[in-house]
C-alpha cells in the first residue's frame, strides 16, 4: 500500500533539513527558477521484494577464497581462480624456485581460526570477462596446500620442487599463455573467506641470476551458499556475491506532466542486528549501493550511488535519477522496476539488512520536490 504525505510550501525548508544534511541538495534553487510553487511529496514504494542475483565476479581486482559458517546467513564457500602473464625471458635450467605471492585485503568470518587452502591446476583455457559467481572451472591435480592466519596481509606459497621441474619449460615458453591456465584456490579447512588483491599478487619465478614476477592476468571467484539465512521480521537481506538483492516499484499516480526539481530515494539499514556476531567474527557491511532501473528486457542502468551515512541510511540523489523520473512523469517508459545493486568491482560477500515498509520511522521513502504548473 502506498503511503503519501503532502507538505505545504512553508514546511519545505524544515523537511529538507530533516531529510538530508545539505538543504541545498533538495533543489530549492531549481524550484525558484521553475517559477512554480514548491510542494514536497513523500512516497513509500508500492512494491518491495527480494530477488536473486548472479553476481559478476570475473575480471575484477579482488579474488575470493575460503569458507565461512555464518550463524545468521548460512555457509558460504568461495573458490578463487587466477591466471598469470609471462614476462621477459629466462632459461628453464636457470629456475631455482616458484612462489605464489598473495596480498590479502578482505576477510569475512572467524579472524582467529587458521585457513588452509589447496592450490590446484586449471586444465582448460577460460575467460573472466563477464563471468558470474556460479561459474565453475575444470580442476586438475593438487599442487600444494598452505595454511595462514586470516588477518595476515602477505601470504607466500612455495610451490613444490617436483612441480617446478615438471613445469619449468612451460613457465618460460613463449606459448605460456596458451599452455598454462592458472590455479584454483580451494578451501580445505576454513572458517573465513578472504580476498586477495590481484594488483599486488603474482607468481614469482626465481632464477640463479634474477627474480621475475608474473602478474595476474585473469581472476574469477566462484561463490555459493548452502543453508537458508535467518532474517528478523521487517527486514530485507542484501548480500554481495550470493544475493539476494532488492527490487521495488513506486506508484507515481497523479504526477503526469508535473515538473520535478529534485528526487531522493532513501533506504534505512538495521546496522545493529547485522553486527551481532560471535566473538572474533567479522561480518563486513556493504559500503556502497547502486540504485538502478531495470527495463522490460532485464537491462540494468545505474541512476545513483549512495554510501551508508551517519544516520544509518543509503540516500540516493543524482541528476540521472531526477531525469528518469521526470521523463516518467512526461509519459516515457524507461523502466519496468527499480533495484538495489552492489558495485560488481567490489567483489565481496559483504551484507546489509534493510528495513521494509512496516515502520513509519524507518520505511523506505521516495522524496520528490515538485513545482506544479497550477
| Per-residue pLDDT tens over the stretch 239-291 | 999 999 999 999 999 999 999 999 999 999 999 999 999 999 999 999 999 99
- 121 and 216 within one domain: yes
- 292 and 212 within one domain: no
Domain finish residue from 173, 206, 226: 226
Count of C-beta atoms within a 10 Å radius of residue 62: 22
Residue 176, domain extent? 62-226
Task: Domain count for the chain, please give it.
Answer: 2
Give the residue with greater pLDDT, 139 vs 21. 139
Residue 302: half-sphere exposure toward Cβ, Cα within 13 Å:
10
- 196 and 285 within one domain: no
pLDDT at 208 (0 to 100): 86
Q: Which helix (H) or strand (E) holds 219?
A: strand 211-226
Contact 198, 221 (CB under 8 A): no
- 243 and 191 within one domain: no
Q: Which residue(s) pair with 305 in the sheet?
A: 290
- 327 and 292 within one domain: yes
- 252 and 218 within one domain: no
Contact 348, 194 (CB under 8 A): no
Domain finish residue from 226, 246, 281: 226
Reading the block at residue 181, the C-alpha cell is 591456465
- 154 and 81 within one domain: yes
- 245 and 193 within one domain: no
pLDDT band at 374 (very low <50, low <70, confident <90, very high): low
CA distance 358 to 60: 37
| Of the candidates 146, 149, 153, the residue with the CA atom closest to the CA atom of residue 100 | 146
Q: Annotate 162-194 with b (16+ C-beta within 10 A) or e (fewer).
A: ebbeebbeebbeeebeeebbbbbbbbeebbbbb
Domain finish residue from 226, 256, 278: 226
- 151 and 206 within one domain: yes
- 21 and 121 within one domain: no
3-state secondary structure of 52: coil
pLDDT single digits (tens) 86-126: 998 788 888 999 999 999 999 999 999 999 999 999 999 99
- 206 and 150 within one domain: yes
Q: What is the CATH classification number for the domain harbouring 251? A: 2.60.120
Supply the pTM of this predicted model.
0.87
- 146 and 109 within one domain: yes
Amino acid at each position: 500500500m502506498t503511503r503519501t504525505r503532502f507538505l505545504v510550501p512553508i514546511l519545505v525548508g524544515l523537511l529538507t533539513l530533516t531529510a538530508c544534511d545539505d538543504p541545498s541538495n533538495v533543489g530549492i534553487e531549481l524550484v525558484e527558477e521553475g517559477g512554480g510553487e514548491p510542494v514536497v511529496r513523500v512516497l513509500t514504494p508500492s512494491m518491495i521484494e527480494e530477488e536473486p542475483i548472479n553476481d559478476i565476479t570475473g575480471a575484477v581486482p579482488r579474488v575470493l577464497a575460503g569458507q565461512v559458517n555464518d550463524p545468521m546467513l548460512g555457509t558460504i564457500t568461495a573458490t578463487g581462480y587466477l591466471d598469470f602473464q609471462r614476462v621477459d625471458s629466462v632459461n628453464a635450467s636457470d629456475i631455482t624456485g616458484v612462489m605464489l605471492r598473495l596480498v590479502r585485503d578482505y576477510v569475512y568470518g572467524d579472524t582467529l581460526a587458521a585457513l588452509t587452502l589447496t592450490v590446484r591446476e586449471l586444465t582448460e583455457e577460460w575467460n573472466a570477462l563477464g563471468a558470474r559467481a556460479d561459474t565453475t572451472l575444470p580442476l586438475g591435480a593438487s599442487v600444494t596446500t598452505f595454511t595462514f592466519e586470516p588477518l595476515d596481509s602477505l601470504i607466500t606459497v612455495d610451490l613444490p620442487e617436483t612441480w617446478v621441474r615438471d613445469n619449468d619449460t612451460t613457465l618460460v615458453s613463449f606459448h605460456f599463455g596458451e599452455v598454462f591456465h592458472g590455479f584454483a584456490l580451494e578451501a580445505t579447512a576454513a572458517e573465513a573467506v578472504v580476498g586477495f588483491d590481484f594488483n599486488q599478487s603474482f607468481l614469482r619465478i626465481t632464477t640463479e641470476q634474477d627474480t621475475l614476477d608474473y602478474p595476474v592476468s585473469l581472476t574469477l571467484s566462484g561463490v555459493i551458499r548452502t543453508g537458508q539465512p535467518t532474517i528478523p521480521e521487517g527486514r530485507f537481506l542484501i548480500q554481495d556475491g550470493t544475493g539476494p538483492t532488492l527490487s521495488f516499484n513506486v506508484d507515481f499516480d497523479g504526477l503526469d506532466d508535473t515538473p520535478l526539481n529534485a528526487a531522493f530515494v532513501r533506504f534505512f539499514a538495521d546496522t545493529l542486528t547485522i553486527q551481532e556476531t560471535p566473538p572474533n567474527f567479522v561480518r563486513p557491511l556493504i559500503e556502497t549501493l547502486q540504485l538502478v532501473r531495470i527495463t522490460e528486457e532485464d537491462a540494468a542502468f545505474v541512476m545513483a550511488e549512495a554510501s551508508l551515512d551517519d544516520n544509518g541510511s543509503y540516500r540516493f540523489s543524482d541528476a540521472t535519477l531526477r531525469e528518469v523520473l521526470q521523463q516518467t512523469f512526461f509519459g516515457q517508459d524507461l523502466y519496468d522496476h527499480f533495484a538495489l545493486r552492489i558495485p560488481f568491482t567490489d567483489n565481496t560477500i559483504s551484507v546489509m539488512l534493510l528495513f521494509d515498509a512496516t515502520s513509519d520511522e524507518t520505511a523506505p521513502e521516495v522524496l520528490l520536490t515538485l513545482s506544479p504548473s497550477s
